[in-house]
Structure 1
Amino acid sequence: MKITVMSFNLRYDKPDSGVRQWEKRIGAIASVIQHYQPDLIGTQEGKTPQLSNLQALLPEYKFIGGDRTGTGEGEHCAVFYNPQRLELQQTKDFYLSDTPEIPGSITWDTRLPRMATWANFTVGNPSISLTIVNTHLDHENAKARELGAALVILRLMEFPSEDYLLLTGDFNANPTTLARMILADNYKIQDALATLPLDKQKTFHEFTGEAWDAIDTIYCDRRFQIEQVIIDRQQWEDIWPSDHFPVIVKLQTVSS
């Protein structure tokens, strides 16, 4: 069974100027997704209108996940999926704090609440159980990133052993940091981008096209065979779709 996964920080609908405006970028974002046709997309920063706009251009996808404030007005860690390939079984949000079940909770000295959305699917024939967790760690507080990473790993460990696991996200930390080491030091998942030299893992470019930080990646179950890893550094429709390059990983179950 083959599956293609994407992680993509969409950049929230900030009042940017020129071609950085959401209205100017959304077509390019849809073009990237349509080109790679991922089965699953872990997105970060999208607000409800942005996610609805994007789904309107991508009717073959559905999306799930609440926002980080619990009001419906904040940024999401929404997961888009192709229902023709994946059958949704269960989904839930949790919050990166000491009170993870309380929407919008902050306990680690961050200015903003942080969260994760997870979803379980059945996919393939014969089918497997596949669980994705999608998150966005804090951008300012290293300790909060470390605590958030540890919480995400604890949650991953709670899923049934038969689940094939995926973790997508903007981790706001490169692989040499403690937060990323916490994620990597795990017997269930592996960093797909670790197959590339560190200098080639950089994804954050702030609309310049020249990335300088390796903060986005996809972790995948060690039972998957990694067939291809892509960081898409192209312009689409003559603009940069976002200030982050999307990451795409093509996987196959070893028994396939």
Structure 2
Amino acid sequence: MKRLLLGMAFVLSASLAPAAAPPVRVMSYNIRYDNPDDRPNWAERQGPMLAQIRFTAPDILGVQEALPHMLAALAQGLPGYGHYGKGRNDGVQGESTAIFYSQSRFEQVRAETQWCSKTPDRPSKADGAGEPRTITRLVLKDRQDGALYDVRNVHFDNVSDRARSDCARQVAAIPTAPGAHTIVLGDLNSGLDGGAYHLLATGSGLRDARPLSPIIFGPEGTFNDFDIRQSGEAIDHIFIDAGLGVARFATLTDSINGQVISDHYPLVADMVPAVR
């Protein structure tokens, strides 16, 4: 009888234990600003892009080059997602590095925007930079297991290597929320031999997610210049801290009738706890 009661207690405690949360799917996507001269242009790309994102079903999505009306279209076309991001010009207008997140999976704990500059708390740009650049930060709490994720989404300058490196240092210097995992994603405008990439991949306590994955699909390069025949340089990246591992990583080269959906291919990675 005693053994039976102990067995029943074990089964009951096992059934009450919280189930392990599924992997966190993260997607980074430079969606290309609305340039009417592009072929295909935004009006032609918007529908396929929304379908692609919905099919991929990321838990966290960071977009770059999202103008206000593009951000509104994404928000309308992605029900069930919350989002946060400010326009780089004045906090409203201009491109944003917005972050979307599944509201059924995550609770937003903190939202913050910094400008890559010596005055990060107000619209401004770094010395030598061509445009203002923002760091969008969300701290998200997993509703299933309570895990915290400190997510930063970036789009570094396309003119100045110094500005890119300075922004990389600024991103890395942001204190991580207590107990949280850090994820940095975005368009660095920096390849694997660039200063900004090197700073984040080797000098910040973060690691490039791609080579950590046992399953990798798609080309290393991410910039296609609206030509499906090329993958260009790897300038889009996902970085994670040592507490996270990667189950799968992909560069998505989806096309519609032979036309790519943006001039960058999106990255997708499934995050899991690191094996100790």
**TM-score normalised per structure 2:** 0.86
Note if 1:229 corresponds to 2:255.
no
Correspondence for 2:194: 177
> How far apart, CA to CA, are the structure 1 residues paired with 2:251 and 2:72?
25
Which residue, out of 119, 135, 152, partners 2:171? 152
Note if 1:78 corresponds to 2:102.
no
> How far apart, CA to CA, are the structure 2 residues paired with 1:23 and 1:160?
39
CA pair 161-186 structure 1, distance change in 2 beyond 3 A? farther
Correspondence for 1:110: 129
Bigger mean CA offset, 237-246 vs 127-136 = 237-246
Q: Deviations over 1:165-204 (max 9, x none)?
A: 110110000111121110012463211123489x942000
Correspondence for 2:161: 142
Indicate conservation of the 8 Å contact 1:63/1:81, yes or no. yes
Percent of paired sites with the same residue: 27
Correspondence for 1:207: 226
Correspondence for 2:36: 15
Indicate conservation of the 8 Å contact 2:105/2:144, yes or no. no
Number of residue pairs matched by the alignment: 251
CA pair 42-16 structure 1, distance change in 2 beyond 3 A? same
> How far apart, CA to CA, are the structure 1 residues paired with 2:239 and 2:256?
26
Q: 1:124 deviation in Å? A: 4.3
Bigger mean CA offset, 217-226 vs 87-96 = 217-226
Correspondence for 2:144: 125
> How far apart, CA to CA, are the structure 1 residues paired with 2:176 and 2:38?
43
Larger Rg: 2
Give the 5 Å matches for 1:5-84. Answer: 5-18=26-39, 20-84=40-104
Q: Deviations over 1:99-146 (max 9, x none)?
A: 11111x124112211111000010043211111000000001111111
Q: Partner of 1:181: helix, strand, or coil?
A: helix
Q: Partner of 2:255: helix, strand, or coil?
A: coil
> How far apart, CA to CA, are the structure 1 residues paired with 2:201 and 2:77?
35
> How far apart, CA to CA, are the structure 2 residues paired with 1:146 and 1:211?
24
Q: Partner of 2:35: helix, strand, or coil?
A: coil
Aligned partner letter, 2:210: L
Q: 1:253 deviation in Å? A: 1.9
CA pair 187-178 structure 1, distance change in 2 beyond 3 A? closer
- Unaligned 5+ segments in structure 1 are none
Aligned partner letter, 2:107: E
CA pair 162-48 structure 1, distance change in 2 beyond 3 A? same
Correspondence for 2:184: 167
Q: Deviations over 1:58-111 (max 9, x none)?
A: 1121211111112412000000111010100110100001111111x1241122
> How far apart, CA to CA, are the structure 1 residues paired with 2:164 and 2:129?
10
Q: Deviations over 1:32-52 (max 9, x none)?
A: 111110000010000110011
**TM-score normalised per structure 1:** 0.92
Q: 1:240 deviation in Å? A: 1.3
Q: 1:225 deviation in Å? A: 1.9
CA pair 57-160 structure 1, distance change in 2 beyond 3 A? closer
Q: Partner of 1:54: helix, strand, or coil?
A: helix
Indicate conservation of the 8 Å contact 1:25/1:239, yes or no. no
Q: Partner of 1:113: helix, strand, or coil?
A: coil
